[in-house]
Structure 1
Amino acid sequence: MTPRSREEIRQAIVDALGGIAPEIDPGSIAADLPLREQIDMDSFDFLNLIIRVHEILGIDIPEQDYAKLVTLNGAVEYLARRCAAQQ
């Protein structure tokens, strides 16, 4: 797996969110607020987000780590660490 920049990871998350809620404006997402509240995602949508991010980035995300993906910044930081660990 090639290393990913935080910007590439952030874009992958935004792209995945666009697939779940195409009506959202990516620029309106507050980086430190819970994604589920901003986008009004239910549990199924959140699981689809995690699956899509895994498909885009190829990073395994164990269920016990889902809480680390609550905010955009938290998700980027978590996925950047996971990506670095897989090198």
Structure 2
Amino acid sequence: MTEQEIRDLFLNEINKVAPDIDPSDVSDDDHLQDDLELDSMDILSLVTALDARLGISIPEADYPQIETLTKAVRYLAGKLAG
């Protein structure tokens, strides 16, 4: 999976969790909680969706690694690479 595909998937899942967020409005460094105003339940839903879509486990200790689009793409690419 390319980084662009991971980016698109991540933005799609954010939009499913928070339909009021337009993926085209999310910048690379927007913080999920501070800028996009996702709450802890939204984050948990996002992590669960990523687990289901990608078949990877994201432990709670790693949540800071997905707090922005840039970090999430890097983290998820690493997890998918093994």
* TM-score of the aligned structures, taking structure 2 as reference length: 0.92
Q: Provide structure 1 residue ranges, at least 5 long, that are not aligned to the other structure.
A: none
Q: Where do residues 15-26 of structure 1 align in structure 2 (5 Å cutoff)?
A: 15-26=12-23
Return the alpha-carbon distance in structure 1 between the equivalents of residues 45 and 15 of structure 2.
12
Which secondary structure state, in structure 1, belongs to the residue aligned with residue 15 of structure 2? helix
Shift of 1:21: 1.0
Which secondary structure state, in structure 2, belongs to the residue aligned with residue 38 of structure 1? coil
Q: Provide structure 2 residue ranges, at least 5 long, that are not aligned to the other structure.
A: none
Question: Is 1:69 aligned to residue 75 of structure 2?
Answer: no
Seq. identity, %: 38
Counterpart amino acid of residue 27 in structure 2: A
Question: Is 1:10 aligned to residue 7 of structure 2?
Answer: yes
Shift of 1:40: 1.2
Shift of 1:33: 2.4
User: What is the Cα-based RMSD across aligned positions, in Å?
Assistant: 1.0
Shift of 1:81: 0.4
Q: Is the 8 A contact 1:16 1:53 kept in 2?
A: yes
Runs ≥4 residues deviating over 6 A: none
Aligned residues: 82
Return the alpha-carbon distance in structure 1 between the equivalents of residues 10 and 19 of structure 2.
13
